[in-house]
Amino acid sequence: MNWVKKNNKLFSTFMYAALLLSLYLMTSNYLLFHAYAEGFSIVIAVLMFVLTWNARRYIDNEYLHFIGLAYLFVAHIDFLHILGYTGMNVFAGYDYYANQLWVLGRYMESLTLLAGFYFLYTQKKCNNCLVLVVYTVISALGILAIFIWKNFPVAFVVGVGQTPFKIISEYIIMGILALVLLGLNRYKEYFGSRLWRFLSMSVVMTIIAELFFTFYIDNYGISNVMGHYFKIISFYLIYKSIVEKGIREPYDIIFRSLENKREQLAMANETKMKLFSIIGHDLRSPFNGLLGVVDIFSENPNIFEPEEQEKLFSALSESTKETYNLVNNLLEWASVNMNKIKLEITNISPISAINSAVTGLKVILDKKSLRLNIFGDPQLIMRADTKSLEVIIRNLLSNAIKYSYTGSIIYIRVYDLQEEISIQVEDQGQGMTPEQVEKLMVSEINESTPGTANEKGTGLGFNIVREFVDLNQGRMEIDSEVGRGTTVKLFFKSSHTA
């Protein structure tokens, strides 16, 4: 960024030197002064286009994006204006080209500054190709009207001065620029104070320049000279606007984006390592237990007494369930993170989804002598995807069972909050500290802590809940206190707000 600031200072120095040099040229050769002043504006306009074109992916202000592209065509008309000036001897036999091209260029410039607000008003993106095509057509028609068809109104007559068309056009252009000032004030929040000042001052300088161009009666007069000075200042200020948004901010955006990508990659790598740890340790352990029991029975099925067989089958059942839950969580987590889940959000009954989710967990509830109480109106309807809501409830209830004390009660309550439906899963278990709650709400994979009966987990369950709640356009809160239990509150859109 230092080189950008340094180059801006160098360009500012060049700007002031150009003004001083043009003052000197004016006293010795007006034709050279005119070419120099107009050439300075043309160079700035071309630079604006080059900067905008190369930064088009990063400029988030579509107004500047649009005018940065359009000013290339303003520069083209101004270049022809220089060549058409009396004394340049490029276009012979016709004295009206320069002033006609001037009017065309100023109409294009002022209307461009006004048309740019369309993108702020509609919030639409600037279509680069469309802008280039439209301005190519407009420029071509103007040039044909002046050079070929010769039906563009005459703007200046030697010995007489400006025509009524030229004077009226200057006032119309000033009126358009006044509307631009109003537009800048209306959409001030899109620019920021510094950028807004640059643009506003540029438009003010252009209005003053047009005022001087309204008064002159001689192409070489002092009014014409002053008009060109203000035009130089105007173009410099609008160039500063494009630099502000087209170079400084894009570089900030690029570096911020790279830093964000680096952080995301670091988090993804950490998540991957935790996932491999889960697969390598937690998934291997239950399979080792399963294989051990199977091997014993396959070698000698009658070696154990009935009581011992019952214990082994019980262990086998627990190991199988543990493995199934782990694999199920891994598959659900992978599906969410690989964007393979496609939700069908419709009007559903939360009580119905809760009852479906609870069915497969009744055995585990009974094993810990836990009671489950479900409260809510079966007629309540909310907006969600049925299958993912069942996954959410199943994971929350599994956690509640895991961390509940034997013989306690788990509550699932459904509340109608008019615009939202709230589902709350409450246990009377070991609870969490505020630090644990905060980590649970942001971490990709959490370290699983043993349950009240030393149950194991994967650390993936709550992440799956969080992801599915987001995909259902819901939100979540957690209230927890160590030794008193945890309440997870889910909020989804009511069918009334659909």
Task: Compute the average pLDDT of residues 306-324.
Answer: 68
Tokens 């810990």 — which residue?
368
What percentage of the chain exceeds 90 in pLDDT?
37
* Residue 1 pLDDT grade (very low, low, confident, very high; cuts 50, 70, 90): very low
The H or E element containing residue 177 is: helix 164-186
How far is C-alpha 66 from the chain's CA centre? 19
Residue-level pLDDT at 17: 66
Domain boundaries, the chain: 2-260, 283-340, 341-498
Q: What is the pLDDT of residues 464-481, one digit of tens each?
A: 788 889 889 999 999 999
Which band of pLDDT confidence, cut at 50, 70 and 90, is reported for residue 19? Answer: low
Mean pLDDT (whole number) for 99-112? 95
Mean pLDDT of all residues in 455-460: 66
Greater confidence (369 vs 290) lies with 369
**Residue 96: per-residue pLDDT:** 79
Q: Is the pLDDT of residue 22 over 80?
A: no
pLDDT, position 271 = 56
**Confidence (pLDDT) at 3:** 46
Backbone angles phi, psi at 388, to 5 degrees: -70, -35
Q: Give the pLDDT band of residue 4 (cuts 50, 70, 90).
A: very low
Which pLDDT score is estimated for 174? Answer: 96
187-227 pLDDT, tens digit per residue, is 998 887 888 998 999 999 999 999 988 876 565 667 777 88
Cα 192–49–62 angle (5° rounding)? 40
What does the pLDDT read at residue 381?
93
For 343, residues 6+ apart whose C-beta sits below 8 A from its C-beta are: 385, 388, 471, 472
The C-alpha atoms of residue 84 and residue 264 are separated, in whole angstroms, by 58
Residue 344 has a pLDDT of 83
**Span 53-80, mean pLDDT?**
90
Q: Given this model, what pLDDT does residue 236 score? A: 83
Torsion sign (Cα): 212, 216, 222, 227:
positive
Band of residue 287 on the pLDDT scale cut at 50, 70, 90? low
Q: What angle do CA 153, 154, 159 make, to 5 degrees?
A: 165
CATH code for the part of the protein at 341-498? 3.30.565.10
Check whether 363 has a pLDDT greater than 60. Answer: yes
pLDDT top residue among 436 and 55: 436
For residues 318-340, average pLDDT: 61
Least confident of 229-243, 334-348, 428-442: 334-348
Residues contacting 457, CB < 8 A, separation 6+: 402, 448, 449, 451
Q: Please give the average per-residue pLDDT across 127-145, as a whole number.
A: 96
- Round the average pLDDT of the chain to a whole number and report it: 81
User: Which band of pLDDT confidence, cut at 50, 70 and 90, is reported for residue 319?
Assistant: low
Question: What is the predicted pLDDT for the residue at 218?
Answer: 61
Asked whether the beta carbons of 486 and 494 are under 8 A apart, the reply is no
DSSP helix, strand, coil percent of the chain (3-state; round to 5): 70, 10, 25
- Give 90's DSSP letter: S
Mean pLDDT confidence for 119-128: 93
Q: Is the pLDDT of residue 120 over 60?
A: yes
Identify whether the C-beta of residue 66 lies closer than 8 Å to the C-beta of residue 115.
Answer: yes
Task: Please give the Cα distance from 459 to 368 (Å, whole number).
Answer: 21
Mean per-residue pLDDT for 384-407?
88
| Least confident stretch, 43-52, 176-185, 356-365 | 356-365
- The residue ranking higher by pLDDT, 6 or 259, is 259
pTM: 0.52
Residue-level pLDDT at 457: 63
Strand 161-162 to strand 371-375: parallel, antiparallel, or no bridges (unpaired)?
Answer: unpaired
CB 456 within 8 A of CB 445: no
Cα 190 to chain centroid distance, Å, stands at 15
Of 367 and 260, the one with more pLDDT:
367
Tokens of 241: 């606007």
Q: Is residue 36 predicted with pLDDT exceeding 90?
A: no
Instruction: Say how far apart CA 399 and CA 401 lie, in whole Å.
Output: 5
Q: pLDDT: is 333 or 205 the higher one?
A: 205
Encode pLDDT of 243-273 as tens digits: 666 556 655 555 555 666 677 677 666 656 6
Rg (alpha carbons) of the chain, rounded to whole number: 37
In the CATH hierarchy, which fold is given to the domain comprising 2-260? Answer: Rhopdopsin 7-helix transmembrane proteins (1.20.1070)
Q: How far apart are CA 395 and CA 463, in angstroms?
A: 10
Q: What are phi and psi of 433, to 5 degrees?
A: -80, 160
Determine the Cα–Cα distance for residues 52 and 46; give it in Å rounded to an integer.
Answer: 10
pLDDT of residue 242: 73
